[in-house]
Homo-oligomer: A and B are copies of this chain.
Amino acid sequence: MALEHAILVSLLEKPGSGYELARRFERSIGYFWTATHQQIYRVLKRMENDGWVAARDVPQQGRPDKREYSVADLGRAALSSWLHEPIEPESVRHDLAVKIRGAAFDDPAALVTEVRRHRAAHEERLARYLAGEVRDFTGTDARAAGVSEAERELQHAVLRGGIAYERMMIAWLDDVLGTLARFGPDS
């Protein structure tokens, strides 16, 4: 389990409210971890009880107050010890692969639309990542205020992972489409 740790990393990069964290999990953090706001609020509360994070009420004008969280010493220590313990390389879960193998017992041609939909979704994500790369990681100083070089470079490395993943998926889905095409008229 790493949601706690993902939250710690995000709060170390920049303190924020549960709502803001939820937004980040739709964006930058989203390409390696997802979480809904319900989950985040629940975990955040537990982390506060455990002394991993500290909250501060921030009044705002024209908007509801927010509780801004930042990482406490105990949280930093928890993250550090997690970073030092080995984790098992997780295995993937691909619904689509189940469908592809299942198509052999149904109509292979019917899957083409579905595979194309997925391909489009990955293409879209790739475009988003590439745009983010240009925005955040070009120009030596642009928006580099208060961010260490290590932080910046490691974030970039993770983003490159997301980009590589999307490119691989697109290429593979093209491969699959080619295979499906050979069973178009009939099997």
Contacts and interface: CB of A to CB of B under 8 A. Distances in A.
Interface string A150-187: 11011111101100110110011001100110110001
A144 B139 CA distance: 56
A80 B179 CA distance: 20
A179 B164 contact: no
Interface in A76-94: 76, 79-80, 82-84, 86-87, 89-94
B92 A150 contact: no
Given A83-B99, A89-B118, A148-B187, A104 B154 contact: yes
A157 B175 contact: yes
A45 to B, nearest CB: 20
A126 interface: no
Given A8-B102, A149-B187, A172-B164, A158 B122 contact: no
Given A8-B102, A83-B99, A103-B150, 18 more contacts: A2-B95, A9-B105, A31-B92, A34-B91, A80-B106, A83-B102, A86-B114, A87-B96, A90-B94, A100-B154, A101-B151, A104-B151, A105-B151, A108-B154, A153-B179, A164-B168, A164-B172, A164-B175
18 contacts: A2-B98, A5-B99, A5-B102, A6-B98, A9-B105, A13-B101, A32-B97, A34-B93, A87-B99, A90-B95, A101-B154, A104-B150, A105-B151, A154-B180, A164-B168, A164-B171, A164-B172, A167-B168
Closest 7 CB pairs of A and B: A32-B97, A104-B151, A32-B94, A168-B168, A150-B187, A89-B121, A9-B102
